[in-house]
Amino acid sequence: MSVSLTLKKCNSEKNRMVKSFVADVDIQLTGTFKEGQSILTPSFTIESSSNLSEYNYCVITEFGRSYFMKVEVVQTNIWRLNLEVDALSSFSAEIVNCPGIAKRTAAPEMINYYMNDGALYTEQREVITYHHFIRNNAEATLGDDDYMYLLVAGG
Amino acid sequence: MAYEWLDKWGSYSFCRTTTWTPSNIPASDGSVSNIIWGNSPVSQVVTTDGQNIQWDVNDHFTINFYLTTRRNLRYTFTDTATGLSATSTTSAPADIVRVDMNWAIDYDTENAYPIIFFQLSNELTTFRRVRLDIVTDIFYQSIMGSIPPLYTWVAWGQLNGNNGQYRCSLTMIKNAEIGDPSTLQGGDISDFNRLSAQSSIWNLYHNIPLGVETKIAWSGPGWMSLTLTEVPQSNPRTINFQFKFYAPQVSSVTPIFVENRPVAVEGNAALKVIDMFLSFIYDNEQQAALFYPVDHNEYGDYLWGYVNSHTEDEMLYLYLWLNQSSAGTPDTPYDDGTQDNGGDPGNPIPQSHIDVPSYNTSGGLTDNVVTLYRLTTAQLQDIAGWLWSSDFIDNLNKFMGSADECLLSLTALPVKPTNLSTKQFRAGNVGFVVSGTSDPYNVEYVEQRFFKLDMGDFVFTPFWDSYLDFAPYSSIEVYLPGVGVQKLDIDDIACPANIDGSLPAASGSTIHLDYIIDMVTGVLVAFISVNGELRYQFPGKIGYTIPLTGENYTRMIQGYVTATAGLIGTVASGGAAAPFTASAASAGIINAMKPDIYRGGNFSGDASMLSSRKPYLIYRRPNKPELIGQENFTGFPSYKSGEVGDFSGYTEFLDVHVEGLSCTEEERDQILAILKGGVLL
């Protein structure tokens, strides 16, 4: 089976859905599998004069999938590529349409800061402040003067 | 007679009206509107003279419509079992353009009447009908003896299996829009566009060579192929999509089901198809499935879906073929989720409006039984001198032996109502005059015993705009002159409910303080309102009493000592040992460790005049350090539903429905684990 491979240098986290790559260093390879291959963990040997040890990612067009790649040196210019499917990136275009309920997120409009799940860390010290009531633009008070009131029988 | 329409025969539906029911079918011809078409093969568009339409209902009966001319219809119903038939003709005043039929079944008399509906070229919005009244008992026996099952169709979720070079994912028609499989009931293009472009049938159409049978989808060991061929001399240009279904355990060469779909790919917007979606519907109880392609016309995003006829065997084979899929069926194949709010919450109960009371009563001060005079220091001196003079004592009423018997109390209060009236000072019904004159000695006096004092507002704005603004992380107390320090409910202050019982969009409130003071005793109640609604009432007392007799003085001192015993100093209660940990603690642990400090004693009565006379709030909140980029490491609380694409940055999902992905089970498990464990979007 004829296949087209693209070897890449991925500089993203494994759990990032859309990977980013070092620009302008991709290696395009075409060839034919000499033996049966797993769709999820293909492993094969290739000949290349390029230094493939610097590459960690592979896209196989015919499989429609992307793979994390580990490279072994078999001989000079003979490399063994061990691939493990990156399902998250391979199906990212479909995953974005899947419905779900999120526990944590960074999307501002999807954050609910009033849900108490321990996400916010606080110091031991607290802030204690004091605030007067305001009446007619001044601090409200009962009054500083003492007024005398005499209760008299009759009158 | 009581009739019922025979709505369906297996997967075929019959023509019927919404305005006529079988029980009120007119005896003679007449037009009627609101026709609901049946589906092929019975419902037919008529185009030529001599057109013959025949439908063989398996082994039961045959229906034949024959147009001798476009205006003359001969119809024959033949019971296959007995060979009995009924034939009749009808003539129309214009060309017949469509025919259809149904049965009106009379269960009481056990007769089934074929009703023929036909449409004329000059009556395109109405239909005519004719009823056949021959061998209706035979038809009844034939129908009632062999009515095929009625189906309840549900959308099939997705296909899975041994994916290879090509992948073709299924879209999912909504269950509510299946209806009669003859036509799509509705359909929102956004629902069908949920699949990626690379896995859509239309992408395959652009990449598969003509004439080459190509595997496009799998269901377990079975597969589905697509062969595209040009329909010769078609105008507009038409491509035939031939779908074949293979079950290798039956045959790897002969398909179990074949579907041909000619599709116009050019032409005007009403004809041109710009996309196609594939789906299945099934009935688990009947073990039947139908292949349900949906076309997308360019014209107004129009979706056109229909099911071609399937034999009962084909329906069974397709059902078995689908069930080979290791993915199985989702519990709720693309039903709209209900807006479940956890139970069935009703509307919030509107709150009652609670006002600060107003006591506009004299409280006995205008009945001439007692009078409360407001005196300046000079006036007190003048009056004191007069009270212990012979001028007063000699004129005192005989039932009073001395001045102190008519002087009930002398109290100092920090408040004075404005606009007090004045009158002559009198005691024991003896009036005081200005020295050396006969002019009355006028002083202010209090007519309203209960005095309301506005003690101002405080606009409270929560600091963090998060759960940190609420108990137990934040707290608020109030110092009230004449009362002391009282706790308030921070939740009620930070985000008070609206009067209709709902939560407001924004947090914060205005706190207002009123005092109502009894001018005779100094007893008061402090009223705290939040956003104009009374929420707290605290009793207290202000003022100090000046003893007028030795007995008065003794009682006053005893009362003060009793009231204040044991309240000297501050008392701290609560708190816990600090955890021995180097890491920062979440807000809940911090708050639990804090001791509860008692900030005040009894500031009532005499003590109130020595303490601060300005009320104030004590606001306690946590201090949270700014963690730059926390959203990218841990995210923030969400607990909202949406599609994965609605979220961004670091996101953890409680759960996600990934059943629709065109991937293997292992990949599905991997994807779900990452989405639940934390993904960077």
Query: If you average pLDDT over residues B313-324, what whole number do you get?
Result: 85
- Work out the end-to-end distance of chain B between its first and last CA atoms, rounded to an integer number of angstroms: 67
Phi/psi of residue B468, nearest 5 degrees: -65, -20
CB contact under 8 A, A135 and B375: no
Average pLDDT, chain B: 76
User: Quick one: which of B320, B72, B423 has its CA closest to A155?
Assistant: B423
pLDDT in tens, A8-57: 999 999 999 999 999 889 999 998 888 888 889 999 999 999 999 999 99
Q: Which of B181-185, B297-301, B592-596 has the lowest mean pLDDT?
A: B592-596
**Structure token digits, residue B36:** 């609901």
**d(CA B465, nearest CA chain A) in Å:** 7
The closest CB to that of A107, out of B454, B646, B680, belongs to B646
Query: If you average pLDDT over residues B507-523, what whole number do you get?
Result: 92
Q: Which residues of B touch A103 (CB under 8 A)?
A: 635, 637-639, 652-654
Instruction: Find the angle CA(B473)-CA(B477)-CA(B481) to the nearest 5 degrees.
Output: 170
The closest CB to that of A152, out of B373, B413, B519, belongs to B373
**d(CA B132, nearest CA chain A) in Å:** 54
**d(CA A66, nearest CA chain B) in Å:** 12
Which pLDDT band holds residue B569 (cuts at 50, 70, 90)?
very low
CB contact under 8 A, B637 and A151: no
Instruction: Find the angle CA(B419)-CA(B422)-CA(B424) to the nearest 5 degrees.
Output: 170
pLDDT in tens, B8-56: 666 666 777 777 776 676 655 556 666 776 766 666 777 777 878 777 7
Q: CA-CA distances (angstroms) from residue B660 to A50, B21, B188, B305, B572?
A: 40, 43, 17, 20, 60
Structural element, H or E, at residue B143? helix B136-144
pLDDT in tens, B361-412: 677 777 777 889 999 988 888 888 887 776 666 665 545 556 567 788 889 9
Phi/psi of residue B337, nearest 5 degrees: -70, 140
CB contact under 8 A, A91 and B648: no
The reported pLDDT for the residue numbered B244 is: 93
pLDDT in tens, B429-483: 778 888 888 888 899 999 889 989 999 999 998 888 889 999 889 999 999 999 9
pLDDT in tens, B622-639: 888 877 788 888 899 999
Q: Which residues of B touch A17 (CB under 8 A)?
A: 679-681
The reported pLDDT for the residue numbered B224 is: 84
The closest CB to that of B520, out of A111, A115, A151, belongs to A151
**d(CA A64, nearest CA chain B) in Å:** 8
The reported pLDDT for the residue numbered B8 is: 65
Report percent pLDDT > 70 for chain B: 69
> A29-37 long-range contacts, Cβ below 8 Å, gap at least 24?
A29/A4, A29/A5, A30/A2, A30/A3, A30/A4, A30/A5, A31/A2, A31/A3, A31/A5, A32/A1, A32/A2, A32/A3, A33/A1, A33/A3
CB contact under 8 A, A143 and B637: no
Classified as helix, coil or strand, B444 is strand
Q: Which of B21-30, B67-76, B121-130, B297-306 has the lowest mean pLDDT?
A: B21-30
Q: Which residues of A touch B406 (CB under 8 A)?
A: 152-154
The reported pLDDT for the residue numbered B583 is: 37
Bigger pLDDT: B599 vs B107:
B107
**Structure token digits, residue B491:** 């939740």
CB contact under 8 A, A91 and B661: yes
CB contact under 8 A, B409 and A150: yes
* Residue B258, number of CB atoms within 10 A of its CB: 14
Whole-number Å distance between alpha carbons of A23 and A10: 10
Which pLDDT band holds residue B576 (cuts at 50, 70, 90)?
very low
Cβ atoms of A70 and A53 closer than 8 Å: no
Provide the b/e sequence for B431-450 (b: ≥16 CB within 10 Å). ebeeeeeeeebebbbbebbb
The closest CB to that of A140, out of B455, B649, B679, belongs to B455
Q: Which residues of B touch A137 (CB under 8 A)?
A: none
**d(CA A36, nearest CA chain B) in Å:** 12
**d(CA A2, nearest CA chain B) in Å:** 11
Report percent pLDDT > 90 for chain B: 19
The reported pLDDT for the residue numbered B619 is: 94
Q: Is the pTM of this model over 0.90?
A: no
Residue count of chain A: 155
Kindly list the strands in the beta sheet with B421-424, ordered across the sheet, starting from the edge strand earlier in the chain.
B421-424, B442-446, B370-375, A147-153, B407-413, B544-545
CB contact under 8 A, B652 and A105: yes
Selected residue of A142, A145, A146 to mutate for chain B interface (largest B Cβ count, 10 A): A142
**Structure token digits, residue B218:** 């799998």
**d(CA A60, nearest CA chain B) in Å:** 11
Q: Which residues of A touch B678 (CB under 8 A)?
A: 15, 104
The closest CB to that of A100, out of B615, B627, B653, belongs to B653
The closest CB to that of A115, out of B376, B411, B639, belongs to B639
Classified as helix, coil or strand, A34 is coil
Cβ atoms of A110 and B640 closer than 8 Å: yes
Whole-number Å distance between alpha carbons of A6 and A8: 6
**Structure token digits, residue B29:** 């011809």
CB contact under 8 A, B198 and A153: no
Burial of B428 (0-12, 13-18, 19+ CB in 10 A): buried
Q: Which of B349-363, B368-382, B581-595, B611-625 has the lowest mean pLDDT?
A: B581-595
Whole-number Å distance between alpha carbons of A84 and A94: 20
**d(CA B23, nearest CA chain A) in Å:** 48
* Residue A141, number of CB atoms within 10 A of its CB: 18
Whole-number Å distance between alpha carbons of B610 and B595: 28
**If you count residue pairs, one on A and one on B, with CB atoms under 8 Å apart, how many are there?**
388
CB contact under 8 A, A149 and B374: yes
Whole-number Å distance between alpha carbons of B228 and B244: 12
| Interface predicted TM-score (ipTM) of this complex, two decimals | 0.91
**Structure token digits, residue A87:** 């399902």
Spatial CB neighbours of B448, under 8 Å, sequence gap ≥ 6: B360, B361, B362, B363, B365, B417, B519
The reported pLDDT for the residue numbered B98 is: 82
Bridge partners (DSSP) of residue B515 are: B453, B526
